[in-house]
Chains A and B, each alone.
Chain A
Amino acid sequence: MNGVPALALADITCRFAARDGRSDAYTAVANATLEVAKGEFVSVVGPTGCGKSTLLNVAAGLLEPSSGTVEVFGERLLSTEGVNRRAGYMFQADALMPWRSGIDNVIAGLEFRGVARAEALVQGEAWLRRVGLAGFGDRYPHQMSGGMRKRLALAQTLILSPDILLMDEPFSALDVQTRQLMENELLALWAEDRKSVLFITHDLEEAIALSDRVVVLSAGPATRPIGDFRVDLPRPRDVSEIRMTPAFAKLHREIWGAMREEVLKAYEAQKVL
């Protein structure tokens, strides 16, 4: 691994103007610093509503931070130059184009880059096979199950072979079984060429099972990382089996110890509202 991190968020602060214009601005993220090394799988966990997605949007270049810098492989990411071109983003909610068939959704990114359609279709079919959707290319998203749509979204993102993969609770809407299947598939795909991954989740088990490193965020407002844990579990992993190992349980206890107070804080804050 060389020294330059794939993604470096330095001292990021995001303030949002209050909508009614009377109360103070809301500080979602304050002085957050986070690095993802080349080929590293980093999960960010934190209580609900703590600004995890805000941080990810900053990394994607979709949101300009109030202060702080984002560097992608050592280069400053400037809002004037648009989004983070080296990153792929997988959203929590469905972000497929409902008017495009499966295959047309998968090759959308190639199309935007001006790849000839015949060539794009060949690659698209190959990716459909890799995510287990061979033969479903002519279906529209509404004709697919939640799990199939997630696979489609995964293929849509990975076909561009992004150096950095940003994932915002991509599997949170799935049932437990489908979710574990998808997690294993993600790990298998990731193992092939080791992209850098920044994975947002509120599920600590998912975070430990997938990652090399787990970063814990404090409760909002003014979220910032408060803990950084290395996960030394052997790879390749099977997400449902690794949960049973003592090493996993030990890590879980340790990280949960750091998280619990923040989760309770977030819970109290939401009760007041």
Chain B
Amino acid sequence: MRLRTLQILVLVLLIAAWYLLTAPGLIPPFYFEQANRAAFFFGEPQKVFWVIVEWFVSGEIFIHLAVTLLETALGFSIGAIFGLGIGLWLALSPTASAVMDPYIKGFNSMPRVVLAPIFAVWFGLGIWSKVALGVTLVFFVVFFNVYQGVREVSPNLIASARMLGASRRQLLRSIYLPAAMSWVFASLHNAVGLAFVGAVVGEYLGSARGVGYLILQAEGTFDINTVFAGILVLTAFALALDTAVGAVERRLMTWQPRAGETEKV
């Protein structure tokens, strides 16, 4: 509880500093020549707050949020499923893995955000170009984790399951998949964040809906308060998503030791 209080205190201090430094005429300008310049460049916290309230009261934000979250969810699910499938396949097939290795490495090294304009051409300005960008970002995080996870399954565990009579299919279901899942969950926080980035960057580059679009519009009219409002709403939802992932993880990964419990050997 003490920790929570301190955390809130930091937030309050930050907002107070923001307000003090930007409110026109409150303190004499020491960097800009004119009193209202700081507010022009950095926005003002109370105005940002009212923009957010206005968005939610008028309901204007909901369609944009829904679109951004839908893009995130689709990008994340499709990317994770492909990552899991292809990760399992390559990890269990040494030949395919050896053949694909340079391409995987190359595609991963490519700064994939530059694909956004291409996706816009291929998939149009609707949600699918953003989903595609999210998929390329999420795929590799999940893929590498699954690949690593499957390769690091203890040979003992595999031998043991074989001696207990597991067929190849049962090995996949009972050993490889659960082993890989723990690695997938380790990467999930990262992956959800990247799906979000994919959605927002995609919207920012060209869209008619979404929170990224709102930010882009506001920027076009130098409405810095609205830009900040958009950023804050995005941040809040990113945090909420992260919490949701954490909750799912705790539910599904009860078998993993946590701090305070004994370590598995």
Contact = CB atoms under 8 A, between A and B. Distances in A.
Contact of B165 (A62, A146, A160): A160
Contact of A93 (B156, B161, B182, B257): B156
Contacts of B161: 97, 108, 112
Q: Ordered nearest first, which 9 A-B pairs have the shortest CB separation?
A: A95-B160, A142-B264, A109-B164, A89-B163, A142-B257, A112-B165, A99-B178, A95-B156, A140-B255
Contact of B263 (A83, A109, A142): A142
A267 to B, nearest CB: 27
Interface in B167-201: 167, 170, 174-175, 178-179, 181-182
Given A142-B261, A142-B264, A97 B157 contact: yes
Interface of A: 57, 60, 62, 82-85, 87-89, 91, 93-101, 108-109, 111-113, 140-143, 146, 156-157, 160
B164 A156 contact: yes
B163 A62 contact: yes
B216 to A, nearest CB: 45
Contacts, number: 80
Contact of B256 (A97, A109, A142, A156): A142
Main secondary structure of the interface of A (DSSP, over half): loop
A98 B264 contact: yes
B5 interface: no
Interface residues of B, number: 28
Given A112-B167, A112-B170, A99 B255 contact: yes
29 contacts: A60-B159, A62-B162, A82-B162, A84-B163, A85-B165, A91-B159, A91-B160, A93-B154, A93-B265, A95-B160, A96-B160, A97-B174, A97-B178, A98-B255, A98-B256, A98-B264, A99-B179, A99-B181, A99-B255, A100-B255, A108-B161, A108-B166, A111-B174, A112-B167, A112-B170, A112-B174, A140-B254, A157-B163, A160-B164
Interface of B: 154, 156-157, 159-167, 170, 174-175, 178-179, 181-182, 254-257, 261-265
A208 to B, nearest CB: 27
A88 B163 contact: yes
A83 B254 CA distance: 32
Contacts of B265: 93-94, 146
Contacts of B254: 140
